Amino acid sequence: MAKQINLNADMGEGFGEYDIGDDAGLLKIIRSASIACGFHAGDPVTMQRLVTEATAQGVSIGAHPGFNDLWGFGRRRIDMNPRELEYMIAYQIGALQAMACYAGERVTHLKPHGALNNMAAEDIQLALAIGRAIKTVDRDIIYVALAGSAMEKAGRELGLPVAREGFCDRLYDDDGNLTSRKIPGAVLHDPEVVKERVVNMVLNEEIVSRNGKPLKVRLDTLCVHGDEPSGVIVARAARQGLEAAGVRIVPLPEMTLG
């Protein structure tokens, strides 16, 4: 049976007059969109447009909740009580669910944004809080989690469907964490390098760390980015490489999750 993988990207991270990222370009490449829900970015108009455009491209819709921090674009760590975080996530899921009605679609996955994603990958209490929000609002929503993170653990503990995420365009440390963006070269821009890496990730279930150490990892979804100029080119390379290697690229709800 052919290997399959999902490609996802963050989307709709504009606000009012502002726009970031080449959403239209990425929607032709990815199969699942994580849409900003109004707290770190995204407004109701942007959200409505994205759910409609994603659906038109056969791209599945996910929530991309973040901290209540438009100025910092959700990249500042905010020390929230897990209970307050949980309700904040539930709120954002619901807001996107309503917008998804405009496309006659459902919200089928959730991936936290920015600093929240980083914190929840490390902190089981935060990861559980996000998971409880999912479970309360719609227990069929797939919890997209950095492979091996506290989020993966929390999702499994709560009995939620979990998609283990890898990153097409990021270096990894030896312990499986993403290399900090502050380290030069942490973000990959060379389409050929990316192509080779993603094929290795999916076919061999292996990521080579920045020190050359092979890490064994099973992934369900690969993240690409649209906020850098090279984003769409890198994303297209990833997709082409995978397809050339015989891998099927499918929306998250069509993945068989472990």
Closest CA to 219 of 143, 147, 141: 147
Interaction between residue 11 and its own copies (CB under 8 A) = no
Q: Is 129 in the site for its own copies (CB under 8 A)?
A: no
Burial category of 75 from C-beta neighbours within 10 Å (exposed 0-12, middle 13-18, buried 19 and up): middle
Stretch that binds its own copies, among 42-50, 143-151, 210-218, 240-248 (CB under 8 A): 42-50
Using rule CB under 8 A, residue 175 touches its own copies: no
Report the residue number, 44 or 246, with the smaller CB distance to its own copies.
44
Distance CA 46, CA 252 (A): 22
**Using rule CB under 8 A, residue 108 touches its own copies:** no
The piece of 98-106, 162-170, 183-191, 198-206 that touches its own copies (CB under 8 A) is 98-106
Binding flag, residue 45, its own copies (CB under 8 A): yes
Q: Which of 13, 62, 84 is nearest to 161 (CA)?
A: 62
Instruction: Specify the pairing of strand 221-224 against strand 214-216.
Output: unpaired
Contact 177, 189 (CB under 8 A): no
- Of these, 27, 50, 93, 116, which contacts its own copies (CB under 8 A)? 93
Of 1, 2, 58, 71, the one binding its own copies (CB under 8 A) is 71
d(CA 180, CA 167): 13
44 binds its own copies (CB under 8 A): yes
Q: Which of 136, 145, 141, 131 lies closest to 161, judged by CA?
A: 141
92 forms part of the interface with its own copies (CB under 8 A): yes
Residues of this chain that interact with its own copies (CB under 8 A) are 14-20, 38, 43-45, 47-48, 68-73, 76-80, 83-84, 87-88, 90-99, 101-102, 115, 136-137
